[in-house]
Structure 1
Amino acid sequence: MTIVALGINHKTASVDLREKVAFSAEQLDRALQQLTMQDEFAESVIVSTCNRTEIYCSLESGTPEQVLQWLAEFHCLDIEELADNVYSYDHNDAIAHLMKVACGLDSLVLGEPQILGQIKQAYASAKKNGGVGVLFERLFQRTFSVAKQVRTETNIGASAVSVAYAAVNLAKHIYGQLNNTSVLLIGAGETIELVARHIHQHSPKSMTVANRTLDRARNLADEFAAGVISLAQLPEQLANADIVISSTASTLPIIGKGVVEQALRTRKNKPMLFIDIAVPRDIESQVAELDDAYLYSVDDLQAIVSENMATRELAAQQAQSIIAAKVEEFASWLKSLDSLDMIRDYRNEVTQTKEQLLERALSQLASGKEPDKVMVELANKLTNRLMHAPTKAIKDAAEKGELGQLAQMKKMLGINQE
């Protein structure tokens, strides 16, 4: 039995090729059912996300090349193009890779937690379609346990490593809890969408999206039950916000010092936090000169991100040590399966020999043969049968001068070492 991991990810392939190899929900069930019907693939799990597609298989007699062939045929792709962009691991390397992926060590953002949930979902889909047996049940449960241990014992996910996440963490650090704050988000692009997702998890009192195009703002706001205003409404609405986070493509500042002064007067100098993650800036730098206005730029956040990345890199090294130990544990368990199979086969063979000779002895007794002669014959034949294979192995090892093997057989047979 060989465990194989074959995949394609953000490090090895373009977005275009990753999209072609990805499995939709409908395709995933069909793919797993196909794999379970093939004799070469004993167990199979497919992990498919926007950044990676990976197939984990336990192979009875197949090879990684057969997994690649199947993947190319399923998606009607040229196998040569695919071969240039995939990676594959087997045995302990495949086990280690799965654990690293689950811990976020192979992700675009080091230590990101979403991948663990995606692997759990992939495992559940495979189990539903008959792709998970005893081996993968143990492997994936052990992987989930390792990921939990890494999260608990290291700082792999403790620090913000994206500007959007850092912005929200900064706001949370200043305000403590965000459930009593009103948040104004300026812009409706990808960065603001990420900020909105992180902010929404902290249940702010209110959230408003301001954008030049109202339709685009509404598309984002509807997802988070947020309000919508136009950029022209900012001067009159700014005073309602405790936290302002801005990221637009404007070439000129959207919020000036004068507008903030007016907002602070309306708020009776109740403090405001401004986080400007746009390049060029959306908020005039002079805003920082005002009492009760606290302005942070993208450079401030990048410094936080860089420091936190260093923390995660150290945590990743600690995680690698944990994973290495767990891979060894799993490999030992796999070896024990081999020994259990050997013990079972040997026990079956001995039992079969015993039953054959016992049946003969009982037949002899039934025909009237003297019991003592039957017992002696039974003992002699049983001894000879059980000694035949070990005796032949000892003679062969002696003739070849394999002293180490002879010593091992002596120990295995329990022969007195003295």
Structure 2
Amino acid sequence: MNRRAFLSTSLATTLSLHQARSAPSARTRVAVIGHTGRGNFGHGLDSMWLDMPETEVVAVADADAKGLAGAVKKLKLEKGYTDYRKMLAEAGAEIVAIGPRHIDQHHEMTLAAIQAGARGIYMEKPFVPTLAQADEIIAACEKTGAKVALAHRNRYHPVLPALKKMIADGAIGQPLEYRVRGKEDARGGSLDLWVLGSHLFNLVHYFAGEPRACTAGVFQDGRLITRADVKEGAEGIGPLAGNEVHARFEMTDGLPAFFDSVQNAGVKTAGFGVQIIGTEGILDLRIDAEPLAHYLAGSPFGPNDKPRLWQPVTTAGVGQKETVENIRKLVGGHVGPGRDLIAAVKENREPLCNAKDARVTLEMTMGIFESHRLDGRRVELPLKDRSHPLTRLS
């Protein structure tokens, strides 16, 4: 077996749907927090545990009574809690799933779970609304040893090590840049940046290392946004403005990463992905798609009279059929991420997509707003001021 196949197979084995065929008699206890009408239970962060025989959902909380009744039935429980703090105090759960997509609740829920003794927390993305809140959660984790994992599902995909190996082996020639576009639907611009761009930045971070600096501009209908444009954003995001975003990051690996999102500019066949562009080819990653990655050989610059074909990249290699069984459930159904979090708790290591990784993603988002606030000037990351830049916009 070559090293590329070994790396991918090793990760796939770690996250496998069938890893726990003979589940231990003492299953990991999981408590779930949702909030119907305010982000609900995220993208399956309640039901994912039912696909893992080594876990047991022991409690669920939802401040909405009707939503709670539905969750109790769905999770096959006898009762639930309208007060998640009461649940955390009584459930004795080792793992807590924080489901609401409205991120203004994440900070308080996470600290409450840590204080109640949770050893692992699996959280819907994005992370939290401010860098100060991210710093506080990470400090609490460092003090208690709790592990926080973010539901950036693509980060757990077993093909990622193979893609890194392809780059190192020269499959795309000399790497030149990362090109990133949001989904660019009705949420295009700053909301796209927050809600969907977090997936993209997380992948750029995986390949390129830490962001070192940012230059950016944020626009509303073609003009630079001002303080008058700032309003409370959807999904508990906090201050928000702009339906068009253009940014450039300087990454640790020496390459630039470009992010762009324009409202209603996207179509289903393009956007919402990351391209790693080199002198002799391109690697393309489509978020939440399967296969996740495709490869285009040859120089991306200039006309070419020879037909070129995008080829899927799987854990078995370029153009090969995926050999990891039920990979959609493994990745898209959060089974792999859930198993990684449980392993991280037992092994006292960080999850593959941890709180510090999530803070890097948030740093990139805030770096865009801070550069815009300073008239597009280059700003170094991490930011010294941990407050939200749009609250300081003139």
Tell me the TM-score normalised to structure 2 length. Answer: 0.30
Larger radius of gyration: 1
Instruction: Report which structure shows greater RCO (CA 8 Å, sep ≥6).
Output: 2
Larger strand proportion of the pair? 2
Structure 1 length-normalised TM: 0.29
